[in-house]
Chain A
């Protein structure tokens, strides 16, 4: 199924992944490689398992009692479901941005500083301020907030909050950033800013994004994976998937007939 050239070593590999919510079979035998320094888009109709797959990658599904994950998922060849894996460390390496901006009820500065603080990434106040500033800079928010770092984050606009959440994820210096419909609550201008940001961020990070917008997938991603009813139907270069889909289901989804 995966058409990646063997010369590129994938950042993340999923093999034979099955996910159950109680008895409901939400993901069926999914094999997918995520390549480093690319944006991989997960698309498909509502309820097809995109979020479920994304949340397998940083073991966020562990939080859901009824959720069971089978199969093999590796980050740089290391099994992330190995019982010896430290979730704290795993999630430091694989960060996440959520559908709805969810800033903590703290100041802008403290939101960004929280991750570095719990992981002990800064040895001094100055170092922490430096991390906060550079993370906000890279999230394209610095100019707007540099004069009010101590203001509550909940006072920012939705688009600013989402960029703050991106800054918060970046601050931990992850290798992979997972984004679940990061623009779905934003207006077109805020969306454009985040899309531009993703393009920049992929130089330093590996990005996986779930999106309902096929235009967005086409604009930001290099690879696209199409899910349908728990199956990974098709994955390939974004251009190819959108112009010459192999599977008829992909074809009808991107031409707007299912979804």
Chain B
């Protein structure tokens, strides 16, 4: 480069092939090595993901040799424990996944009932109302919330929220188990608030200022502008933020392992103990297990199910957020 400039200043244009041979070869080699390194790294990441997906798939196929797909997907009864001892009656166990899906859905619903409104309202506050100073306080605090290990949330669910739910429900005469979908869901909701709020905040902030000015220019008040113009404009992206929250809720493990319970009740009563897909995967694989019984293989089937569900949710969410960004760039 320096050569070129000098040559131009000197008045003669250098040839495009002016670089000395050796230097050029070194450059090309350097580029190649770097390129190879970068490509190899991404290849490792991609292959690992594919490998995991494939192993999930193969183990699931083995599981489906033992348990029919229909019984797995639509069975109303989940009791894999029966299969532990071969001499027992009904040693085949019951692998109907519906109770787990209902439990997962119930907890996710409770979580989103908390995280949806809290996350959105705090995003609206941060994006539209907060002074730069308030924003510089609140943002980092929300980020810290997002960085707390989920086992701490689980602790909190078991030691504080679950007893509170039990005591207060009993005080008004409800029958409550010590582990409840409500306690786990509420705590999970608090965990998800920062995820929803930070994405929704980005999305709302990305609504062009010109739209706000258009509304103010017509005499709209601040709240009219936010309600009638900004939020409708940000709606698809906000939908994406909520879906990512849901995806996080159904994949969350630690909180539910600690606070939700193990018994697969088929219920939509949030005061009862329910169990989730993730909790059952943990239960199926902890302890000494043979890795070819339907019981352990079931964990892979559950994993695949979860993988597919969160993948679809994430894809839809990202599509919404991205499509929305394109519209305003």
Contacts and interface: CB of A to CB of B under 8 A. Distances in A.
A250 interface: no
Given A102-B208, A102-B210, A60 B217 contact: yes
A169 B221 contact: no
Contacts of A114: 215, 218, 220, 228
Interface stretch (A15-23, A86-94, A124-132, A226-234): A86-94
Nearest to A59: B216
Given A63-B213, A105-B232, A114-B220, 9 more contacts: A87-B219, A91-B216, A91-B217, A98-B213, A98-B217, A100-B210, A105-B233, A118-B228, A119-B219
B51 interface: no
A118 B213 contact: no
Interface string A174-214: 00000000000000000000000000000000000000000
Contact of B220 (A89, A96, A98, A118): A118
Given A89-B219, A118-B219, A104 B233 contact: yes
A169 B327 CA distance: 24
B227 to A, nearest CB: 11
Contact of A91 (B211, B219, B232, B233): B219
Interface of A, helix, strand, loop or mixed by DSSP: helix
A88 B208 contact: no
Nearest to B211: A102
Contact of B232 (A102, A106, A115): A106
A23 B216 CA distance: 26
B217 A95 contact: yes
Interface residues of A, number: 27
Contact of B211 (A87, A104, A169): A104
Interface in B188-227: 208, 210-221, 224
Interface residues on B, range: 10 to 19
Contact of B218 (A63, A105, A118): A118
Given A88-B221, A118-B224, A102 B216 contact: no
A88 B219 contact: yes
B133 to A, nearest CB: 11
A90 B219 CA distance: 7
Contacts of A102: 208, 210-211, 213-214
Interface in A133-180: 154, 165, 168-169, 172
A105 B235 CA distance: 11
B229 interface: yes
A63 B208 contact: no
Interface string B26-70: 000000000000000000000000000000000000000000000
B132 to A, nearest CB: 8
A154 B328 CA distance: 11
B210 A96 contact: no
B214 A98 contact: yes
Question: Counting chain A CB atoms within 10 Å of each CB, which of B211, B214, B228 scores highest?
Answer: B214
Contacts of A118: 218-221, 224, 228
Contact of A115 (B210, B213, B219, B233): B219
A169 B213 contact: no
Given A104-B229, A118-B224, A169 B218 contact: yes
